[in-house]
Amino acid sequence: MTTASQDLPKLFLPNIKHIILIGSGKGGVGKSTLSANISIALGKTNKVGLLDADIYGPSLVKILGGENYRPELSKDKKLIPLTRHNIKCMSMGLLVEDGEAVIWRGPMLFKAISQLFTDVLWGDLDYLIIDLPPGTGDVPLTISQKVNVSSAITVTTPQNLSLIDAKRALSMWRQLNIFNMGLLENMSYLYPQDKEMKKINLFPKGDLDTFLQTEKLTKLAEIPFHPYIGLSAEAGQSFINSYPDHEITKIFFDIAKKIKKSCPL
């Protein structure tokens, strides 16, 4: 795997203890939604930053309810990130007007990515979670080559159509020598509305579990589909803060715990 960025020196980020990538081969599997809720869960006990690296289709500003925030410059000319739910967030969505397309490629793209790390007032962070765009394109490649990544988490939905793409993401982590923490199976089933109701599969169960067993990979969690997760994201509210006692909130805290165990401070 080669990009023009691989010749550039690695960025030195002494104030950030762990950088964790959240990616997928496939679009729309819930990377941004899960990144936000996992970061907020981690942020209860740690200093957490969330970088929306989906340069071409940023969505974290909406999910975090920061549409009215315009980053100002600090005294030393660094962008002050949005702070919501005790986490700091930077996104292209804070820097371009709503609906405006970013059309950078090549050097412009590499420069923009570097600036999201170096020209933002992140301060001291225990964890910087990076919400990647779908696929295995320039952005994940550039980030992996520019900064020291502690590990990657791959998001997939249960069906084989998503597994095919998840395998591509896993292959990318392998080729880039990035430790693969495990997979998150999102929209595993429709969350039962009452105790009598059975779990309904929204997608056909594919070969994910067999694949994980064969490859000795970990499934970090199964996150059900719940309309409130989507509604919270639409409203810019945090699901876990809105429903602190919910069973799904416990799943997000459990994922945060696994991240802390895998990337100790």
Ligand X SMILES: Nc1ncnc2c1ncn2[C@@H]1O[C@H](COP(=O)(O)OP(=O)(O)OP(=O)(O)O)[C@@H](O)[C@H]1O
> Mask 49-88, x = binds Mg ion (CB under 5 A)?
----------x-----------------------------
- Cβ neighbours, 10 Å, residue 120: 19
Q: Which is nearer to ligand X, 19 or 221 (CB)?
A: 221
User: Does residue 25 belong to the site contacting ligand X (CB under 6 A)?
Assistant: no
Q: Select from 64, 183, 229, 255 the one that contacts ligand X (CB under 6 A).
A: 229
- How many Cβ atoms from other residues are within 10 Å of residue 153's Cβ? 29
Contact by Cβ (8 Å): 153, 182: yes
DSSP state of 93: G
Total residues contacting ligand X by CB under 6 A comes to: 21
- Is residue 156 within the footprint of ligand X (CB under 6 A)? no
Instruction: Return all residues near 169 (Cβ < 8 A) that are at least 6 apart.
Output: 23, 24, 25, 136, 152, 154
37 lines the binding site for Mg ion (CB under 5 A):
no
Note whether 32 binds Mg ion by CB under 5 A: yes
φ, ψ for residue 211, nearest 5 deg? -60, -45
Residue 233 binds which one of Mg ion, ligand X, none, with CB within 5 to 8 A depending on kind?
Answer: ligand X
**Distances 241 to 198, 222, 265 between C-alpha atoms, Å:** 27, 20, 25
Task: Give least dist CB 187 to ligand X, A.
Answer: 5
**How many residues lie near Mg ion (CB under 5 A)?**
3
Query: What strands, in cross-sheet order, belong to the sheet with 82-84?
Result: 82-84, 87-91, 48-52, 125-131, 16-23, 151-156, 180-190, 219-225
Residue 20 binds: one of ligand X, Mg ion, none (C-beta under 5 to 8 A by kind)? none
Confirm if 149 and 10 have CB atoms less than 8 A apart.
Answer: no
Distance CA 119, CA 72 (A): 12
> Could you tell me the smallest distance in angstroms from the CB atom of residue 32 to ligand X?
3
Q: Is 158 in the site for ligand X (CB under 6 A)?
A: no
Give which of ligand X, Mg ion, none residue 225 binds (C-beta under 5 to 8 Å, depending on kind).
ligand X
Q: Tell me which residues touch Mg ion (CB under 5 A).
A: 31-32, 59
Tell me which residues touch ligand X (CB under 6 A): 24, 27-33, 54, 57, 59, 133-134, 186-187, 223, 225-226, 229-230, 233
